[in-house]
Structure 1
Amino acid sequence: MADIFTVKEKSKLLEFLFAHLGGWSKKTIKQRLQGSSVAVNGQITTKHDHPLNTGDVVEVGVVKKASTQAQTLQKLEILYQDKDIIAIYKPAGLLSVGNTTENKQHALAILRDQLSRGKNQVKLWPVHRLDRDTSGVLLFATSKEMREVVMDKWSISEKIYLAIVEGSPKETKGTIDQPLRPDDKVYRMYVGKHPEAKPAVTHYKVKQSTKDRSLLEVSIETGRQHQIRAHLAWLGHSIIGDERYGTKGEKMGLHAKKLTIIHPVKKKPMSFEMDAPREFYALLN
């Protein structure tokens, strides 16, 4: 059941939630907001700076109704499967893992239902996550132990993305070596030196350019939250459709194309690859 609050004075949504959800950590509040679990006057919003006026009604605990695509999505494309790991293609618009127990429209839940047979319920552990609006290769482990073994070698895994950005970088290839840290007030990453910032390294190559946009191949040495999105925005070339770090659009131009890991049992490199869909490349024009 949703908690309902009436706004007494003008405020920003995230500030209001911090003030009225005293028993929750700021991290949890941000996750609920991003997980489409907050509504203002009956309308779901994920914007931290959504303006609140006196008399507005804020609901916490609601779940966004599944989109038409999500409602019809009953199976995910499996790229590779053995008794230890499963690699899938996650379409854009789908959460990797649910932020609330009520939300069943996420990749983990769909794949679990897809693989389970009757009372034999499959258990899965996400090795990593992709943002809701990022499509591409997503990896799960069939046990907590297998997940930990994969993660032990995660720093040497190869993670290649495609990104469509605003404008064209001056250099055809380059490296962004800028530390990242979560902002204390809003759900985004702060780029730059700070005592709490963690190292983050992103490499990029320009694959194609049009008049106003460019297609980049991006690889990351680290896997910080929003790393590619924050780094490219810092470079001055935000990802198309990335409202948080750039300009709002119908689709976001970020796709996880290839993932190479050390298999937890075979101890050999394994690669999983999926090209971006046609609608992704359409963003370049």
Structure 2
Amino acid sequence: MNKPKKHSGKSTNTAKKPRTSRHGGQSPAQPKLYTVKEPGELLPFLLSTLSNMGRNSVKSLLSRGQVSVNDKAVTVHNFPLEPGHIVAIHRERAVAEAPLLGMAILHEDDDIIVIKKESGLLSIASARPEEHEVTAYRQLMTHVRRTNPHARIFVVHRLDRDTSGVMMFAKSERIQQALQNSWQDAVKERSYIALVDGKVQKPAGTVTSWLKESRTLKMYSGRYPNDGQLAVTHYKVLQSNSAFSLLEVHLETGRKNQIRVHMEDIGHPVSGDKKYGSRTKVIGRLGLHAKVLSFEHPTTGELLRFDTGVPKQFLRPFHTQ
């Protein structure tokens, strides 16, 4: 019989012996605990520590959420370990996946992930990201790597940090390119709900302009035709009073800050949007929500439609008067 491999000394098994009940039966198995002695990454640590298990078996423990570090489930293979960390192996039950912060998955298949993002969550890292900055992209990368350590996701389109609603990511560069190259044809409906300042007089309308970006990174409508990127926004009034209007907005084009610029152009900036002229913050956030995204699936051709509804706080200004 082969002798077990000698341990490298990087951890100490502090697991307790199984306890027995008063009736002689064994209580549920306690997790096996290991104390990290040297800095390193999680997967190599597990392979060294669990030397009686094969590589694929160890990776399965990770993908099933049966490994935790300091009582938090971890599935990322290269998770950094530091001396003093406690690694636990839960053999009989899977640890629940760490909850997604500021987002929820609406749909996932082999090619795409569709999510509902809350206001305040970055879609991807900012130009000067803070360490461990929470983003939808980073969380989804961790999510897909639960089952495949080499999996990746790719950005298809973005939502501003303070805009909530539905957005989509691709699971391969091929799908990303296919969606972006056919975006105008593939997307059948893309609508927003906008809470804007003031009473919009026209029940419906269209705003067309050519958008440019200033040196301060603020978008604005150019003074002359063809001077910038063509942007077309259609809107319809759903509710209004003397102070606010609730609009359904459809994008014919998808330019950066398009709705925010166009609402300022017609004299009704999005509520809470100080950058583009709003002087109100009645709901405590930007009054912009990506309600509907409907598109043809890039592989199957199936028409998918996701409707995230109207946030309740957007209706608040119309219930208080």
Could you state the TM-score of these two structures normalised by the residue count of structure 1?
0.70
- Cα–Cα, structure 1 residues 282 and 113, in superposed 2: closer, same or farther, change >3 Å? farther
For 1:128, the aligned partner's letter is H
Q: What is residue 78 of structure 1 aligned with on the other side?
A: 105
Q: Among residues 210, 219, 225, which one is paired with 2:241 in the alignment?
A: 210
Q: CA deviation at 1:196?
A: 4.1
Q: What is residue 143 of structure 2 aligned with on the other side?
A: 114
Structure possessing the higher relative contact order (Cα contacts under 8 Å, 6 or more residues apart): 1
- Cα–Cα, structure 1 residues 119 and 220, in superposed 2: closer, same or farther, change >3 Å? closer
Question: What CA distance in whole angstroms lies between the structure 1 residues aligned with 2:241 and 2:151?
Answer: 46
State whether structure 2 residue 312 is matched by structure 1 residue 278: yes
Q: Among residues 270, 283, 291, which one is paired with 1:239 in the alignment?
A: 270
- Cα–Cα, structure 1 residues 116 and 74, in superposed 2: closer, same or farther, change >3 Å? farther
Q: Among residues 225, 243, 261, which one is paired with 2:295 in the alignment?
A: 261
Question: What CA distance in whole angstroms lies between the structure 2 residues aligned with 1:114 and 1:125?
Answer: 13
Matches within 5 A, 1:98-109: 98-99=125-126, 100=128, 102-109=131-138
For 1:230, the aligned partner's letter is V
Q: CA deviation at 1:153?
A: 2.1
For 1:266, the aligned partner's letter is T
- Cα–Cα, structure 1 residues 144 and 252, in superposed 2: closer, same or farther, change >3 Å? same
Question: What CA distance in whole angstroms lies between the structure 1 residues aligned with 2:245 and 2:296?
Answer: 32
Q: What is residue 188 of structure 1 aligned with on the other side?
A: 218
Q: CA deviation at 1:126?
A: 1.2
For 2:287, the aligned partner's letter is G
For 2:133, the aligned partner's letter is K
Q: What is residue 26 of structure 1 aligned with on the other side?
A: none
- Cα–Cα, structure 1 residues 122 and 242, in superposed 2: closer, same or farther, change >3 Å? same
Question: What CA distance in whole angstroms lies between the structure 1 residues aligned with 2:209 and 2:117?
Answer: 28
- Cα–Cα, structure 1 residues 190 and 270, in superposed 2: closer, same or farther, change >3 Å? same
State whether structure 2 residue 172 is matched by structure 1 residue 143: yes
Question: What CA distance in whole angstroms lies between the structure 2 residues aligned with 1:163 and 1:105?
Answer: 26
Q: What is residue 96 of structure 1 aligned with on the other side?
A: 123
Q: CA deviation at 1:162?
A: 0.2
Matches within 5 A, 1:29-178: 74=101, 76-99=103-126, 100=128, 102-117=131-146, 120-156=149-185, 157=187, 158-178=189-209
Count of residue pairs brought into register by the alignment: 214
For 2:217, the aligned partner's letter is Y
Q: What is residue 285 of structure 2 aligned with on the other side?
A: 251
Q: For residues 82-108 of structure 1, what are the alpha-carbon distances to aligned partners after superposition, in whole Å with 9 as ceiling and x for unaligned? A: 101110000000110002453531111
Which one has a bigger Cα radius of gyration?
2
- Structure 1 moving runs of 4+ over 6 Å: none
Task: Classify the secondary structure of the residue corresponding to 1:145.
Answer: helix
Q: For residues 34-61 of structure 1, what are the alpha-carbon distances to aligned partners after superposition, in whole Å with 9 as ceiling and x for unaligned? A: xxxxxxxxxxxxxxxxxxxxxxxxxxxx
Could you state the TM-score of these two structures normalised by the residue count of structure 2?
0.62
Q: Which runs of 5+ in 2 are unaligned?
A: 1-98
For 1:168, the aligned partner's letter is K
For 2:178, the aligned partner's letter is V
Q: CA deviation at 1:111?
A: 1.8
- Contact 1:75-1:111 within 8 A present in 2 as well: no
Task: Classify the secondary structure of the residue corresponding to 2:230.
Answer: coil
Q: CA deviation at 1:118?
A: 7.0
- Cα–Cα, structure 1 residues 170 and 277, in superposed 2: closer, same or farther, change >3 Å? closer
Question: What CA distance in whole angstroms lies between the structure 2 residues aligned with 1:73 and 1:149?
Answer: 27
Question: What CA distance in whole angstroms lies between the structure 2 residues aligned with 1:279 and 1:255?
Answer: 11
- Cα–Cα, structure 1 residues 119 and 177, in superposed 2: closer, same or farther, change >3 Å? closer
- Cα–Cα, structure 1 residues 279 and 122, in superposed 2: closer, same or farther, change >3 Å? farther
Question: What CA distance in whole angstroms lies between the structure 2 residues aligned with 1:87 and 1:145?
Answer: 17
Task: Classify the secondary structure of the residue corresponding to 1:109.
Answer: helix
For 2:264, the aligned partner's letter is A
Q: For residues 191-240 of structure 1, what are the alpha-carbon distances to aligned partners after superposition, in whole Å with 9 as ceiling and x for unaligned? A: 13446411100000000112310100000111100000000110110000
Q: Which runs of 5+ in 1 are unaligned?
A: 1-71
Q: What is residue 41 of structure 1 aligned with on the other side?
A: none
Q: What is residue 46 of structure 1 aligned with on the other side?
A: none
Q: CA deviation at 1:81?
A: 0.9
For 2:197, the aligned partner's letter is E
For 2:255, the aligned partner's letter is R
